[in-house]
């Protein structure tokens, strides 16, 4: 539930139209979503093995620190806090606010609803990891029901006015078509992003070597099936041209199926889905800042655990506050582009760390736990997961990440420049922090 909740947010309900505006045939639209699913699955394979080798709190942060250097891990944590996680949560919080106001007609601005929502989720996750994960599981079940309802109504009640068959390409193969397909992958990968965040709480799992590896693979495969079904229904009900013409494809399908009542029902479903994504982000990402503080690379107070709940309350509050600030200052489209251009840099570097660990030939050092007995961390090393097809599959994932970053920067240079500038600012920040600590 945590893996799937980190992936499924508002993107699958909105981004299909963005993809259809870049590539214009059903084959290319579905192909982009299936290609994105393949990239996500390759990434899940890599992160599953890394979880076996480094079952530590902080997940991706720990992989980068141990494979390369603490400075690389610091810049990643800096980017996560200021761009990737906070930006992604802010974009989804704005989406949640819009649909919440549509459903409730609350006399509040989008910004006010987003801030209040983030504050409430911060409070829930400060009550403990079990409290946060129980809320996350409930919201994920409701999200799955909303997607299943959308698919069922689209297949059974819309009449299938769209055309699924047709030519694969709408023009001759060219560099421009390849560039457009690459641009279509930006919203696809934003919708698929998030499987890695489950690794952040590996230090609080009883058996991360077993459970995190299984959860990553089963969760990602489940999301691929859900996303493929939604996009098939979008094309079946609306057609490629109709999909590109609407900015609210899920609402358009439900309105065709059930009229205005259907539009209101899917608005409720999208509201729940975005809330679930925000809950998952609040549950997982603060563990990275906690790990940074434990390494002396962030304020010591962020590494303190609440004596009663055993969670990093200050780190959770910091995440919520920054996401709220970004939600008040940006738009969904701008945030999406600058998040993707940065996020996949770190995906590629993290996957490349597997080559480093394989070369060293070392199994994980004893995990630093956050609230469980060391004895609970023991695991049968013989059951260790290894990436199928490595090194070819791992290298393919690294290359895919590089291509996605390149295509996003090429298509959206100004928005990408914002995110990349913030990342580069993390380099002098690291050296300043070390100087200040001394």
pLDDT tens per residue across span 60-109: 888 999 999 999 999 998 998 888 888 888 878 888 887 788 778 888 88
Cβ–Cβ < 8 Å for 79, 342: yes
> What mean pLDDT do residues 29-45 have?
91
Distance CA 300, CA 242 (A): 53
How many CB atoms are located within 10 Å of the residue 371 CB?
A: 14
Distance CA 237, CA 146 (A): 17
Distance CA 140, CA 79 (A): 27
393: pLDDT strictly greater than 90: yes
Q: Kindly report the CA angle at 25 between 167 and 339, in degrees rounded to 5?
A: 145
Distance CA 155, CA 148 (A): 11
For position 333, what pLDDT does the model report? Answer: 62
Query: Is residue 388 left, alpha or beta, with left meaning phi > 0 and alpha meaning psi from -120 to 50?
Result: beta
Could you report the per-residue pLDDT of 195-205, keeping only the tens digit for each?
777 777 766 67
For position 435, what pLDDT does the model report? Answer: 87
9: pLDDT strictly greater than 70: yes
pLDDT band at 376 (very low <50, low <70, confident <90, very high): very low
For position 134, what pLDDT does the model report? Answer: 75
Which CATH number does the domain 2-361+386-437 belong to among 3.90.1150.10, 1.20.120.450, 3.40.50.300, 1.20.1740.10?
1.20.1740.10
DSSP for 262-281, written as a single string: HHHHHHHHHHHHHHHHHHHH
pLDDT band at 332 (very low <50, low <70, confident <90, very high): low
How many CB atoms are located within 10 Å of the residue 308 CB?
A: 9
For residue 34 the two structure tokens come to 């299936």
Distance CA 300, CA 213 (A): 31
For position 228, what pLDDT does the model report? Answer: 93
Cβ–Cβ < 8 Å for 86, 319: yes
150: pLDDT strictly greater than 60: yes
Residue boundaries of the structural domains of the chain: 2-361+386-437
List Cβ neighbours of 216 (8 Å cut-off, separation of 6 or more). Answer: 3, 44, 47, 48, 51, 195, 198, 199
Could you report the per-residue pLDDT of 216-249, keeping only the tens digit for each?
888 999 999 999 999 999 999 988 888 988 888 8
409: pLDDT strictly greater than 60: yes
DSSP SS3 for 53:
helix
34: pLDDT strictly greater than 90: yes
For position 36, what pLDDT does the model report? Answer: 92
115: pLDDT strictly greater than 70: yes
- Give pTM, 2 decimals: 0.77
User: For tokens 């819309």, what's the residue?
Assistant: 158
For position 370, what pLDDT does the model report? Answer: 42
For residue 42 the two structure tokens come to 């390759």
For residue 393 the two structure tokens come to 């599959």
């Amino acid at each position: 539930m945590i893996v799937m909740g980190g992936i499924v947010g508002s993107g699958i309900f909105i981004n299909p139209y963005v993809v259809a505006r870049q590539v214009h045939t059903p084959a290319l639209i579905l192909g982009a979503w299936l290609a994105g699913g393949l990239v996500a699955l390759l990434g899940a394979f890599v992160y599953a093995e890394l979880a076996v080798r480094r079952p530590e709190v902080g997940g991706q942060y720990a992989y980068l620190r141990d494979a390369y250097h603490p400075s690389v891990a610091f810049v990643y944590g800096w980017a996560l806090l200021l761009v990737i996680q906070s930006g992604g949560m802010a974009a989804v919080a704005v989406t949640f606010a819009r649909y919440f106001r549509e459903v409730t007609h609350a006399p509040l601005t989008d910004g006010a609803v987003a801030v209040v929502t983030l504050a409430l989720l911060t409070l829930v996750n400060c009550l403990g990891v079990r409290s946060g994960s129980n809320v996350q599981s409930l919201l994920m079940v409701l999200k799955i029901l909303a997607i299943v309802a959308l698919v069922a109504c689209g297949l059974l009640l819309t009449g299938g006015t769209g055309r699924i068959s047709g030519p694969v390409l709408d023009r001759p193969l060219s560099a421009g078509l390849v560039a457009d397909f690459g641009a279509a992958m930006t919203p696809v990968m934003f919708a698929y992003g998030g499987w890695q965040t489950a690794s952040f709480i590996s230090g609080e799992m009883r058996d991360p070597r077993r459970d995190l590896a299984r959860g990553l693979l089963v969760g990602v495969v489940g999301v691929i099936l859900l996303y493929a079904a939604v996009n098939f229904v979008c094309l079946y009900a609306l057609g490629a041209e109709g999909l590109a013409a609407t900015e609210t494809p899920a609402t358009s399908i439900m309105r065709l199926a059930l009229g205005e009542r259907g539009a209101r029902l899917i608005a409720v479903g999208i509201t729940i889905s975005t809330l679930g994504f925000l809950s998952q982000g609040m549950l997982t990402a603060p563990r990275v800042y906690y790990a940074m503080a434990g390494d002396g690379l962030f304020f010591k107070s962020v590494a303190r655990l609440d004596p009663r709940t055993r969670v990093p309350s200050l780190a959770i509050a910091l995440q919520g506050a920054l996401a709220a600030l970004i939600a008040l200052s940006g738009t969904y489209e701008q945030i999406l582009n600058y998040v993707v251009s940065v996020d996949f840099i770190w995906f590629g570097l993290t996957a490349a760390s597997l080559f480093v660990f394989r070369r060293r030939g070392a199994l994980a050092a004893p995990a630093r736990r956050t609230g469980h007995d060391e004895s609970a961390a023991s695991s049968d090393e013989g059951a260790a997961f290894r990436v199928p097809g490595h090194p070819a599959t791992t290298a393919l994932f690294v290359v895919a990440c590089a291509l996605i970053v390149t295509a996003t920067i090429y298509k959206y240079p100004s928005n990408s420049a914002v995110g990349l500038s913030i990342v580069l600012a993390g380099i002098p920040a690291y050296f300043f922090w070390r100087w200040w600590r001394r």
